[in-house]
Amino acid sequence: MAIIELKHVHYAYGVGTSFEKQALNNISFSVDPGDFLAIVGHTGSGKSTLIRHLNGLLRPDSGQVFIHGKDLWSQMKDRRSVRFQIGLVFQYPETQLFEDTVGKDIAFGPKNMGLNEQEVKQRVQEALAFVGLDASYLERNPFRLSGGEMRRVAIAGVLAMRPSVLVLDEPTAGLDFDGRALILQQLEQFRIKSGAAIILVTHNMDDIAEHAQRVIVLHEGRMVLSGTTASVFSEADILKQCGLDVPQITRVLIKLKERGLPVRTDAITLEAAEREILKLFREGG
């Protein structure tokens, strides 16, 4: 059974006013355990609005949101518990920090789940280790950490609740290559170890190519593409019309193809492109 399923979701801001804007239009998709789904789209496409529907922060004007098969707005009485199951990390997650020590900040979610002190302590330690920080951070002030460390603490606070789905809105924004790679590697390890699903909202096509299994493309509140990562990136013209691009390595292969070289353009990772180019040399291209 899918963890999350959306059916024909519509949502508008400012309904009945001169500022009314349709933010989501007929959105349907599902998320299964272990999925790694990327949601992409130009600024204003509806990405942030969409993910706020996944844990009940926003209610659709029409359509349905199901969590583990139950309608979030008609069958589930305890919608607060959904926030523990669907962990949402906003863009620049360090703004979610508010306690005076790292340990207290990570413990906030588990404590509100009603867990006993020993369980809370264990979850805090596990989450901190998972994001690559040691126990010396527990008593440190989170606001005196580096930007990358603050972000990892914020993510650890969500991981400590052990969500079924981890939703992240541009978690690597503003980070350098190494910082971005570290966070994405940690998220991948969490997905594999826990069996949880990850939904990643990002503009970075290379990150998507490296990690995502499926991609949804939003444009002006509509789903214009949905499918495997390779199939979505093969639609370079549609992506361009939406103000998006394909991974850098895919652009290289497209240029080679335009020059008449017999290469496939559906390679989306460095390893796949390397195999394609080596094959070209072996065949005398």
Give residue for tokens 């969590």.
67
- CATH 3.40.50.300 assigned to 4-231: yes
Q: What is the 3-state secondary structure (H, E, C) of 211-249?
A: HCCEEEEEECCEEEEEEEHHHHHCCHHHHHHCCCCCCHH
Q: What's the pTM?
A: 0.89
In tens digits, the chain (285 residues) has pLDDT values of: 899 999 999 999 998 888 899 999 999 999 999 999 999 999 899 999 999 999 999 999 999 999 999 999 988 777 788 989 999 988 777 788 999 999 999 999 999 999 999 999 999 999 999 888 999 999 999 999 988 889 889 999 999 999 999 999 988 877 788 888 888 998 999 999 999 999 999 888 888 988 999 999 999 999 999 999 989 998 988 999 999 988 888 888 888 888 888 887 777 877 888 888 888 788 765
Adjacent-strand bridge partners of 173: none
Where are any strands of DSSP class E within the chain? 4-13, 21-31, 36-41, 62-67, 70-71, 86-89, 165-169, 197-201, 214-219, 222-228
Q: How far apart are CA 165 and CA 209, in angstroms?
A: 20
Name residues whose C-beta falls within 8 Å of residue 264's C-beta, 6 or more positions apart in sequence.
253, 276
123 secondary structure, DSSP code: H
Ranges of each domain in the chain: 4-231, 247-285
